[in-house]
Amino acid sequence: MKAYGIEVRQLLSFQTLNRKVQTPVKTAGTTTEKQPTTPPAKPVVENARMDNYENHYQVNLDYTYTEVIAQRMTLLTRQGIEDWQRANQSYSPDTQSLELVEAYVIQPNGEKVKVTEENIFTRPSQESQDAPGFSNSMTTTVVFPKLMVGSQTFVKWKLTQKKPSIDFSDIETPSFRESSVKETVQISIPTSLKLRWKKRGAYVVSDKIQGDRRIITAVIANQPARQSENDMVDPTDVDSVFVFSNLDSWEELGKIVWRDWHDKAVVTPEIKRLADKITGDKQGIEATRLIYNWVAQNIKYVAVYLTESAGYIPHTSTAILRNGYGDCKDYVLLMQTLLKAKGINSVPVLVNWGSIYQTVPLPTSSQFNHAIIYLPDYKIFANPTDNYASFGQLDVSLRNKFVVMATQKGLTAYTPKSIANQNRYSMTSTITIANDGSINGQSEVQYFGSFNTPSRRYFASDKPEQIVNQLLAATPEGGSGTLETSDLNNLEQPVTVKGKWLSPYAVSIDKQIYFSTPFGVSTINPQSLRGFITFNKRSYPLVVGAGNGSWEYKIILPTGYKISHLPENRSFSNAAGEYKCRYEVGNGYIRVQRNLTFQKDVYSAQEYPAFQDLIYKIINDARSVMVLEKF
């Protein structure tokens, strides 16, 4: 698990951007708020079983090593065959070599089918294809032949680390989706070398001296298959863990990165001219903001890993400017160099941009997969790699994260926690119900804080007419419309979206009209929050994103009708957050105001019942029915 791939979350903070909306059932009166009883967890369907996994390190005196990895699987279903038909191993030719020692299939009848050369492929890895010039990693793929339900696959690799890496460390966790009979990690290391280990959970570890070598063996056995849950944290946060490291502290990692990094930030005449051009007569925080905006919007992003191949050392600013692209390290280095040209201090920062929120028990580079920048004079973290994020804006995957700063002495810190009222989604809508049952609507949506970044990305992803029709297609009323946005390239301006739409046959016109509040052009709808609901007992933390959503609807009534029923007003709060709704009657219209607040980025499994209660308040309210009567 030496390197984590970045999964950039396309979020509107609430972990949702246009979730598929469930059509509410329209019946007279207000929908009951009695919640379903949570059933017990269902048994996990096992598609494959990890019969044996072994990872043996033979470490040399300079921390180079040979790693022998063997894996035996039994494929229990057709889906298991789909999931495990291939075995892959990546390596960096500059610092590593890879040998496929053996691969075969044992059929249910005992027949052994050897994997031949025609079933073995070595190609540039996806990382190398995505980032030419930034990574030359290769991937060897084994395709197992003649698989059937009950087949057992075996593959054995030999990976040789020819040059010492940034550290000798790793994080081991057991198989999560598949049951595991036995998994073993063994490290044979000279007694003269330092190496620490710690474990969490079910690993059983032995640490022995044999002659001039120290043998550390970590075993975990008889692990059941686990079912992933929607929007859960990374399994590393909740599963058993075995960590080993030759680092004495997290600060040591920061010092190592600084040592390999700091002399790259060279202010050349080209950099000085560019910095002056970007900032003009601005200084301090305003100059910093302008430099951030320029880097974020003028450098194209390639590569998504901090790995052995991609390395931890950025390219020079000259090379980055010449190419016009870079990876996360290059974004940070270029911004750091431009800031340095203006006399502004900055620090590279290692962080996990993903669903890992817990810090593992020992310092290891495997904790991190991304680089951002810190401005110590302003106490601001910024992520220039995200070209839709405004200066200092971090998404939920970067909030309240443990970080290591690359300074001469090395520093550790945490990124800021989310504050709900700083991350806001606000929609106002006017809806006219015509006497033919159609709806004409217009709305304005504003995004604040962490809602801005994914909304920019979303609205820039397609033509406005395509997006508005997609949004309306996900609503009960449907329809078509038009959409216009504020300047999505202006990172200083909060995103504003205005929409107009027509929904034919949206309500049934009769002596009495029954309808729920139409959703219209809205990227977050109350019913879309059903995506958070887990009907079985929740086992793992839920990533949500602290924030506040408000929806205001002015519903203009058809002529000749009066209001005979409105849902009750609601006000609810618990440890998870708060929900309020108010229904007001005006002259020929109904005003509906809803407000929902999630207080935390991540809710534990123990906190989930309170979160579920909160979610159901707005879901039940959104499908509540208003009744009009002809007079």
pLDDT confidence of 137, banded at 50, 70, 90?
confident
pLDDT of residue 10: 34
Beta bridge partners of 102: 156
Please list, residue by residue across 366-393, b when 16 or more beta carbons sit within 10 angstroms of its beta carbon and e when fewer do.
bbbbbbbbbbeebebbbbbbbbbbbbbb
What is residue 547's three-state secondary structure?
strand
What is the chain's mean pLDDT, rounded?
90
Alpha-carbon torsion, ordered 376, 381, 384, 388, to 10 deg:
-140
Kind and range of the H or E run holding 607: none
State residue 251's pLDDT score: 98
Task: Please report the pLDDT score of residue 570 as a whole number.
Answer: 95
| Whether the Cβ atoms of residue 382 and residue 34 lie closer than 8 Å to each other | no
Contacts of 358 by beta carbon, 8 Å cutoff, 6+ apart: 233, 236, 237
Per-residue pLDDT band for 525 (boundaries 50, 70, 90) equals confident
DSSP 575: T
Measure the CA–CA gap between 484 and 405, rounded to whole angstroms.
41
Q: Is 107 helix (H, G, I), strand (E, B) or coil?
A: coil
Q: Among the listed ranges 114-128, 470-484, 577-591, 609-623, which one has the minimum average pLDDT value? A: 114-128
293/432 Cα distance (integer angstroms): 41
pLDDT at 417: 94
Instruction: Write out pLDDT tens, residues 372-431.
Output: 999 999 999 999 999 999 999 999 999 999 999 999 999 999 999 999 999 999 999 999
CA distance 609 to 613: 6
Q: Which of 164-168, 323-327, 562-566 has the lowest mean pLDDT?
A: 323-327
Token reading at 581: 């709704």
Q: 474 versus 206: which is more confidently predicted?
A: 206
Q: 216-232, pLDDT tens digit by residue?
A: 999 999 999 999 999 99
Nearest to 318 by CA among 267, 374, 276, 361: 267
Whether the predicted pLDDT of 5 surpasses 80: no
- Position 31 confidence tier, pLDDT thresholds 50, 70, 90: very low
Q: Are 532 and 602 in contact (CB under 8 A)?
A: no
Is the pLDDT at 39 greater than 60, yes or no? no
Higher local confidence (pLDDT), 529 or 497: 497
* Residue 305 confidence (pLDDT): 52
* Order of strands, sheet of 196-200, starting from the edge strand that comes earlier in the sequence: 169-172, 241-245, 196-200
Q: What is the pLDDT of residue 311?
A: 60
CA distance linking residue 222 with residue 181, whole number of Å: 5
| Beta strands 424-433 and 547-556, pairing class | parallel
Phi, psi of 498 (to 5 degrees): -115, 135
Residue that has been written with the tokens 């945490």 in this structure: 414
Q: What gap in Å lies between CA 395 and CA 405, rounded to an integer?
A: 19
Kindly indicate the confidence band of residue 23, based on its pLDDT and cuts at 50, 70 and 90.
Answer: very low
What region, left, alpha or beta, does residue 507 occupy, with left being phi > 0 and alpha being psi -120 to 50 degrees? beta
> Rounded to the nearest 10 degrees, how much is the dihedral formed by the CA atoms of 304, 541, 404, 418?
100
Alpha-carbon gap, residue 583 to 592, rounded angstroms: 5
How much is the pLDDT for 38? Answer: 43
Residue with tokens 């809602």: 451
User: Is-contact 342 279, C-beta < 8 A?
Assistant: yes
Coil vs helix vs strand at 356: coil
Task: With cut-offs at 50, 70 and 90, classify the pLDDT of residue 125.
Answer: confident
In the numeric block, the tokens 């010039």 are attached to 133
Question: CA gyration radius for the chain?
Answer: 28
Amino acid at 2: K
DSSP assigned state of 462: S
Mind giving me the DSSP string for 398-446?
A: GTT-EEEE-SSS-EEEEPPPP-GGGSEEEEEEEEEE-TTS-EEEEEEEE
Cβ pair 304, 280 in contact under 8 A = no
Amino acid identity of residue 73, one-letter, is: M
Helix (H) or strand (E) holding 510: none
- Residue 42, pLDDT > 60, answer no
Structure confidence at residue 77 as a pLDDT band (50, 70, 90): very high
Percent of the chain exceeding pLDDT 70 equals: 90
The predicted structure's pLDDT at residue 451? 94
Tokens 């992803």 locate to: 461
* Residue at token pair 């970590």: 218
Q: Which amino acid is at 383?
A: N
- What is the per-residue pLDDT for 323? 86
Long-range contacts, stretch 502-505, CB < 8 angstroms, 24+ apart: 502/438, 502/439, 502/440, 502/441, 503/438, 503/439, 503/441, 503/472, 503/475, 503/477, 503/478, 503/479, 504/437, 504/438, 504/479, 505/437, 505/438
Residue 209 confidence class, pLDDT cut points 50, 70, 90: very high
| pLDDT > 80? residue 11 | no
User: Could you tell me the two tokens for 566?
Assistant: 């409105």
| Nearest of 237, 234, 243, 224 to residue 185 by alpha carbon | 243
For residue range 429-486, what is the model confidence (pLDDT) as tens digits?
999 999 999 999 999 999 999 999 999 999 999 999 999 999 999 898 999 999 999 9
Quick one: average pLDDT of 55-72? 98
pTM here is 0.89
| DSSP state, residue 232 | B
Task: Report CA dihedral (581, 587, 588, 594) to the nearest 10 degrees.
Answer: -10
Residue 12 has pLDDT above 70, yes or no: no
pLDDT for 535 equals 81
Q: Measuring CA to CA, which residue among 330, 322, 320, 52 is closest to residue 183?
A: 52
Structural tokens at position 394: 């971090």
Specify the length of the chain in residues: 631
Work out the pLDDT band at 129, boundaries 50, 70, 90.
low
| 59 CA to centre of own chain | 34
The average pLDDT across 355-374 equals 96
- The reported pLDDT for the residue numbered 14 is 54
The per-residue pLDDT for range 288-341, each reduced to its tens digit, is: 999 999 999 999 988 655 555 446 788 889 988 988 888 899 999 999 999 999
Tokens representing residue 405 in the block: 């700063």
